[in-house]
Structure 1
Amino acid sequence: MDTDVWNERVARGYDASTQHMYAPEVLAPAVDFLHRRAGSGAALEFAVGTGRVALALSARGVAVTGIEKSAPMAAELARKPRGRDVAVALGDMTTRQVPGAFALVYLVYNAITCLLSQEEQIACFRNAARHLEPGGRLVVEVFVPDLRRLPPGETARPFHVGDRHLGFDTYDLAEQRMVSHHYTIADGRATTFLSPHRYAWPCELDLMARLAGLARTERWADWNEAPFTAESRSHVSVWRKPERTGTPHA
């Protein structure tokens, strides 16, 4: 993951720019879903960021630890009320390890796509598996690539056009890469933010999980557990570590 993207300027404005993700109808279903999968066990969030989900899950009584590569993002979390309730280890989620075994490891809000190669994404799955206790679960929330809505021959698609914000994605189809471009006007100033991603299809993520020794047990269109279909724009998927060592069954 490119730490230059998540610098101090971006970290300071991140919660304001994602305020819609804090709405109760958005956040509560995610926390409910994760709480049920964690049960009475501990949880580990990869790319914990400023703690939107981790702090809400911790408030439910779940012991939450986070891994975060961006020191400015982790500092924003620590400055929040109860921010110290979530222990954060600085490092790359593909390799950083923390003590203990967890009932739940999770990545939300497309965090897996911030890893820009297939090799890094596989390493992330393997690192998650290392942290899971037997029977533990990995949960990933991520978008489904929007390529069906990309006109033939085009490489850019707008996702938001407003009075103060313009957002569009550009695609490199050969490398499964996209860059989200954000142009914002506020207080008479214009700012830009470019966020690179590597998209992956649901079946590709299933294969990554199998390489890490995990088997898929659930796939939903959203945190409310709507059925996943060919028209779904995102998915919440769950993979489970076997109770005993051995090859998981699909």
Structure 2
Amino acid sequence: MQNVGPETYGEFNADVYDEWHAAHDPADAVRGLAELIGEGPAGPVFELATGTGRVTIPLAALGVDLRGVDASEAMVARMRAKPGGDRIPVVIGDMADVDDGTDDLFAMVFVVFSTFFFLQDQEQQVRCFANAARRLLPGGRFVLECPMPDVARYERNQALETHQVGLDRVRLAAVRHDPVEQRLDGHHVLITEHGIKLAPAFMRYAWPTELDLMARLAGMRRVHRWGGWRREPFRAEGDYITVYEKPTTSTS
């Protein structure tokens, strides 16, 4: 897929994102993040890829000093149009930089809904881990919600799935899989009587052990891996949560 950048997904999906993800209730994520924040050091919290604010706004409403970054102006505009969304400091930028325009250190940096994998190659993902560690307070945590890669679903490295069928619409997902680069390049395709809408989605997935190595390279250690926000056992399927921690003292 040519001419894609960090902002592409948001610019093409902002107008339908909340509708298409309405079934994904963010309540467990908000509750789980709030619990983790309460267990760590005191300080502000930084969200990578705030999107339309589905987690950002309710978490900030709990009194969390929350800031964020997103590559898409269209997504952030959607967030700011919601009640409370305009009061949360969000900058437009590359989430791999972990940059809010200040020199503050954070008690937590987090990214939800598999968005970490929108970083398009391993180099960007490693850079994100390194920058997250650099911006964390001692004892601070980097929290990721990720999908377990399911490469078996791609027959001949491609898949076409039906997500919605109605009297007035059909929504499909067409994806090509590159097993060498660990990339998924695809489109959500919405077909209605008014025409066809294409919403591109492209990801570079990583296995849990690869994420653990990125954390080690950044000087962090894994402290938790759960099968969900309710801290279910990790069973290597579906979405899972990993918590990495920056040491409180130097190991050098």
Q: Same fold (TM over 0.5)?
A: yes
Mean CA deviation greater in 179-188 or 84-93: 179-188
Alignment of 1:31-110 (within 5 A): 31-39=30-38, 41-98=43-100, 99=102, 100-110=104-114
Change in CA separation of 1:159 and 1:107 when aligned onto 2, cut-off 3 Å: farther
Report the counterpart of residue 139 of structure 1 in structure 2: 143
Tell me how far 1:132 sits from its aligned partner.
1.0
Q: Which residue, 14, 20, 23 being the options, matches 2:17?
A: 14
Query: Which of 226, 247, 250 does residue 242 from structure 1 map onto?
Result: 247
- The equivalences for 1:182-221 within 5 A come to 182-186=188-192, 188-221=194-227
Shift of 1:69: 1.3
Give the structure-2-normalised TM-score: 0.89
The separation in 2 between residues aligned to 1:238 and 1:189, in whole angstroms, is 43
Deviating more after overlay: 185-194 vs 87-96: 185-194
Report how far residue 159 of structure 1 moved: 4.4
- Show structure 2 runs of 5+ residues with no match: none
CA contact (8 A) 1:41 1:62 kept: no
Does structure 2 retain, via aligned residues, the 8 Å contact 1:94–1:120? yes
Q: Provide the secondary structure at the position in 2 that maps to 1:229.
A: coil
Give the residue type in structure 1 aligned to 2:37: A
For 1:91 and 1:82, locate their aligned partners in 2 and report how far apart those are by CA, in whole Å: 21
After TM superposition, list the pairs within 5 Å mapping 1:173-184 onto structure 2.
173-184=179-190
- Give 1:178's aligned amino acid: L
Within 2, Cα distance between the matches of 1:140 and 1:112?
Answer: 7
Name the residue aligned to 2:130. 126
CA-to-aligned-CA distance 1:37-63 (integer Å, 9 cap, x gap): 112532110011111111111111111
Contact 1:58/1:85 (8 A) holds in 2: no
* 1:215 to 1:159, Cα distance in 2 relative to 1, 3 A: farther
Letter in 1 for 2:46: L
Amino acid at match of 2:13: V
Using the TM superposition, give the Cα deviation of residue 145 of structure 1 relative to its aligned residue in structure 2, in angstroms.
1.0
Distance 1:149 1:10, change over 3 A: closer
Q: 1:96 to 1:224 in 2, by over 3 A?
A: closer
Partner amino acid for 2:35? R
Aligned length: 239
The letter of the residue matching 2:73 is A
Once the two structures are overlaid, the 10-residue window that deviates more, 10-19 or 202-211, is: 10-19
The secondary structure found in structure 2 opposite 1:33 is: helix
Identity over the aligned pairs, expressed in percent?
A: 37
Query: Matched residue of 1:119: which SS?
Result: helix
Deviation at 1:181, TM superposition (A): 2.2
Structure 1 length-normalised TM = 0.89
Offset of residue 116 of structure 1: 0.7
Secondary structure of 2:30 counterpart? helix
Per mean C-alpha deviation after superposition, the further-off stretch among 193-202 and 39-48 is: 39-48
Distance 1:169 1:225, change over 3 A: farther
1:60-109: CA deviation from partner (whole Å, max 9, x where unpaired):
11111001111121121112111122110111112252321211110001
Q: Is the partner of 1:12 in helix, strand or coil? A: coil
| 1:51/1:187 CA distance change after superposition, 3 Å | farther
